[in-house]
Structure 1
Amino acid sequence: MEPQGKERYYLVKEDILPEALLKTIQAKELLVRGRVKTVGEAVDRVSLSRSAFYKYKDGIHSLSQLDRENLVTLSFDLEHRSGILSRVLGMIAGREANVLTIHQSIPLQGMANVMITAEISQMKGELDDLLAAVREIDGVKASAVIGRG
């Protein structure tokens, strides 16, 4: 028996889900993609009641929403010299991680901090190995994982 208050999750094939749950997912996707502006428009478009939408919206998610578990945010301290960031990005891409965002601070005293968010579900090798390899690049002074998911 599960301890009280602990959430449990199941992976279920779409064809066995009740219609209200499927329509809730469809309505959420319409909202996320900007095809409708309001919940009212979304539920009208998929023929779902507002009460059903609000009942289920926080409890059902498409599998693609769970991909966030494969996101990692990395921090690097780089010397302010030409080509260093390019070599870091090349190393990440070479391991088949997909760079989603890059944020670089203005260099101060010859150093810049770069934060990179990457999707790592297809990455070859371990994250620690990638960070160690990046630290070997001339001009990289520090590398760390600062967030997951």
Structure 2
Amino acid sequence: MTGQKSVFYLVREEILPEAIKKTIKVKEILKRGEVKTINEAVEKMELSRSAYYKYKDYVFPFYEASREKIVTLALLLEHKPGVLSRVLNTIANERASIMTINQGIPLQGVANATISLETAELVIDLEALLDKLRMIDGVKRLEVLGQA
């Protein structure tokens, strides 16, 4: 595989093999400092060290895969004053860098907007940012279109 570009997939957790799920949990408890060593973590999760080392560099939460990337979002916004401004302020407050904004003409009280943002300086994980954006009054829909 040397020299080949990695391909990434989003896969629902429930279909993952048990060893991969446990590897993810081991990484989480290590990151949170619940245990001091890898040995303690794998024992706690009843996972072999060899399985952990086999998978540890290949599985990570979605938000980690999106660090230092350009993420493109598609939004459906109510056409009322301040909605887009609140979206942009939320992005800026979490230190994501807005690369492009494209908003269509409002039709029937809503407008489509596409925002590309760079996540290198993001102070929260991407999923948390998406949740904050979805909670803004006037954001009717939000989807991740892609990542580069």
With normalisation by structure 2, the TM-score equals 0.55
- Structure-2 residue corresponding to 1:80: 79
- Structure-2 residue corresponding to 1:135: 134
Unaligned runs of 5+ in 1: 10-68
Q: How many corresponding residue pairs?
A: 87
Q: Distance in 2 between matches of 1:145 and 1:133?
A: 14
1:7 maps onto 2:7 in alignment: no
Q: Distance in 2 between matches of 1:80 and 1:8?
A: 42
SS at 1:78 equivalent: strand
Q: Distance in 2 between matches of 1:99 and 1:127?
A: 14
- Computing the radius of gyration from Cα coordinates, the structure with the larger value is 1
| Identity over aligned pairs, percent | 45
One-letter amino acid of the structure 1 residue matched with residue 82 of structure 2: G
Alpha-carbon spacing, 1:84–1:8, altered in 2? closer, same or farther (3 Å) = closer
Q: Distance in 2 between matches of 1:143 and 1:95?
A: 17
One-letter amino acid of the structure 1 residue matched with residue 94 of structure 2: R
Q: Distance in 2 between matches of 1:139 and 1:8?
A: 39
Q: Distance in 2 between matches of 1:142 and 1:8?
A: 32
SS at 1:88 equivalent: helix
- Structure-2 residue corresponding to 1:46: none
One-letter amino acid of the structure 2 residue matched with residue 124 of structure 1: V
- Structure-1 residue corresponding to 2:143: 144
One-letter amino acid of the structure 2 residue matched with residue 7 of structure 1: Q
1:95 maps onto 2:94 in alignment: yes
SS at 2:105 equivalent: coil
- Pairwise CA distance, 1:8: 6.9
RMSD value, Cα? 1.9
- Pairwise CA distance, 1:136: 0.9
- Structure-2 residue corresponding to 1:115: 114
Alpha-carbon spacing, 1:81–1:8, altered in 2? closer, same or farther (3 Å) = closer
Deviation string for 1:84-126 (max 9, x for gaps)? 0000000000110000100001111100011001111110111
With normalisation by structure 1, the TM-score equals 0.54
